[in-house]
Structure 1
């Protein structure tokens, strides 16, 4: 028994000794941190804050990029009317009723400038919502939906519209009001979201997106005559109607064209010039490369360029490019529609990161009524 007590006492002394030594060792080794703990906390807070800002910024850009690929531009009788978004894998696109009012067949253009035929399979005479079926988009992954919960005042949102318009088709804001009612004959808007994100040309019929989750919250539908106030139809309020049309398409569509296209609609869309579209396409080309979305970038090239360059070699040519920043971009009419730009490329070589500036020139033109990047060349700026 005495022997056990002696061993136990020795072990206890050793443990206490190690603890005391460790304390003084740490105290001497990092005196600044122990003597000024507030400085440590402040610096760590700054680092974490900066990291979170970077992460949030990256997340926002990713949400926009992923959403844009599922937002479409809708045309009726060659007149640019508005937008829609892919809501299921059957190729069904949700939009506003006023966008497709009076039409049975429409044209639908995607972000990568592909064009498809669409057929209106459902439209309401009272609620400003419609569904267009696009067989060419069947099997495409749709946008994530929030159909169970309503948004609340203060929620951060994005309003997206036709990606084939101005780059300003993405606006940011918050839910600034709920349960708003208004009348724009023949439609009665009930329990609408009021949003501070302006409904700009190209936004009507597009999705209202939760900035943090990327989920669709509503359908952007109307704008106030004054001020930056927009209104969006909450998705939970109309999802049953939308799903009903998808399961059982309407065989006869109501004729609401005359009323729906009245001049008092403040959100009618406008067309965009070749210069504006060329400006957008080149920017979107580099944006796709930055997200390593080589398929979309390759799809923007003309058929001759694609025949001379396989997708595999195109992709391989950009694998070492970390990111591209467009410093300056100008669209000109020379012998063809020409885009000239100065870009800065962050490139990886032998585990090292280098930066190079390039002067690039692209020729753009139409193929099968779709604008494409027909050719391009670049040179390093010393």
Structure 2
């Protein structure tokens, strides 16, 4: 009898302990997990707040800035606004044109159609079906820049000069008229709006967000003017949702605007080689590989191409010359490469020669060879 009572008592204790553990786990562990999850979320949020390096902001933004070319040869800039392939630019860049050519930073060419343009505000939208699905730049939709914000003014990716200028917002709420447009509450910036910048984005150098559209400049010092995105978003969104069926004509003067000069095949080819090495330096092998022509790609897989540069830490172009004949160009680059070999870093010099030509309306590196030099 005594043994039976002891056995029953032991069983009750085991059951009680089991019930206690069950409810303890049920009530306590989820709270701890929730607290841990909250800490993870907070840590991730803190990580997202860490400013991006300036060079990374520039490289990422440049890839989404495009050159806009009209049938009459005039040129300007724009930037990818959404994943529908819509490009935002200045109205004066695409004035009196319906169809334009869009050239990306990796020399791809696409057809674009103006779907919206203002006769009063210097803004327009070009729809580019070939860019649909491409992740666009981030837009600062809910905040305006303030005096002292560090900014980048980016222009045509194929313009070799003044592609990127740096500065600060040096004034706000500036008003002016450059016929036929009225500029109201625009940013005054110390980054000059020079040829190649007009129509490009004004970017927060810390976050990479687009604050405005670079629109006009002055030759009286390093001063530029940019239209805040917050003041034109409703206009842009209206055209995105309901494209204009008739494009109005504009009577433009040239005073104050930043037009880009025409560039030669040598200029474009030099830019392409520079962009190739820039992409390698950022470890952006996908972009670098995309610049190769079809014949080069057919003999070199992406994996093999990437493997060939994994031990290259950085490349600096010491000298670059380009010559052209007919429809192709030859670019010779003297480069210094910091390479990892046997666990050490060594500096090597090379003479690299590239043949550049248009392939399906896209400028490509058709072939390349390098020889080591002293």
Question: TM-score of the superposition, structure 2-length normalised?
Answer: 0.83
1:326 alignment partner, SS class: strand
| 2:372 pairs with 1:369 | no
Within 5 Å, which residues of 2 pair with 1:113-152? 113-152=107-146
| 2:156 pairs with 1:165 | no
2:162 alignment partner, SS class: helix
Shift of 1:131: 0.6
Shift of 1:354: 2.5
Within 5 Å, which residues of 2 pair with 1:1-382? 59-77=53-71, 79-256=73-250, 259-260=251-252, 262-333=253-324, 337-382=329-374
Pairwise CA RMSD: 1.8
User: Is the contact between residue 289 and residue 297 of structure 1 (CA under 8 Å) also seen in structure 2?
Assistant: yes
State how far apart, in whole Å, the 1-side matches of 2:279 and 2:361 are: 22
State how far apart, in whole Å, the 2-side matches of 1:60 and 1:135 are: 31
User: Is the contact between residue 218 and residue 232 of structure 1 (CA under 8 Å) also seen in structure 2?
Assistant: yes
User: Is the contact between residue 72 and residue 109 of structure 1 (CA under 8 Å) also seen in structure 2?
Assistant: yes
User: Is the contact between residue 77 and residue 196 of structure 2 (CA under 8 Å) also seen in structure 1?
Assistant: yes
State how far apart, in whole Å, the 1-side matches of 2:356 and 2:172 are: 45
Name the structure 1 match of 2:5.
none
State how far apart, in whole Å, the 1-side matches of 2:94 and 2:341 are: 51
State how far apart, in whole Å, the 1-side matches of 2:79 and 2:275 are: 18
State how far apart, in whole Å, the 1-side matches of 2:288 and 2:74 are: 24
1:284 alignment partner, SS class: helix
User: Is the contact between residue 350 and residue 370 of structure 2 (CA under 8 Å) also seen in structure 1?
Assistant: yes
User: Is the contact between residue 167 and residue 280 of structure 1 (CA under 8 Å) also seen in structure 2?
Assistant: no
State how far apart, in whole Å, the 2-side matches of 1:311 and 1:340 are: 24
2:69 alignment partner, SS class: strand
1:102 to 1:334, Cα distance in 2 relative to 1, 3 A: closer
More helix by share: 1
Aligned residues: 324
User: Is the contact between residue 332 and residue 354 of structure 2 (CA under 8 Å) also seen in structure 1?
Assistant: yes
Question: TM-score of the superposition, structure 1-length normalised?
Answer: 0.81
Q: Deviation above 6 Å: which 4+ runs of structure 1?
A: none
Shift of 1:345: 1.4
State how far apart, in whole Å, the 2-side matches of 1:323 and 1:78 are: 41
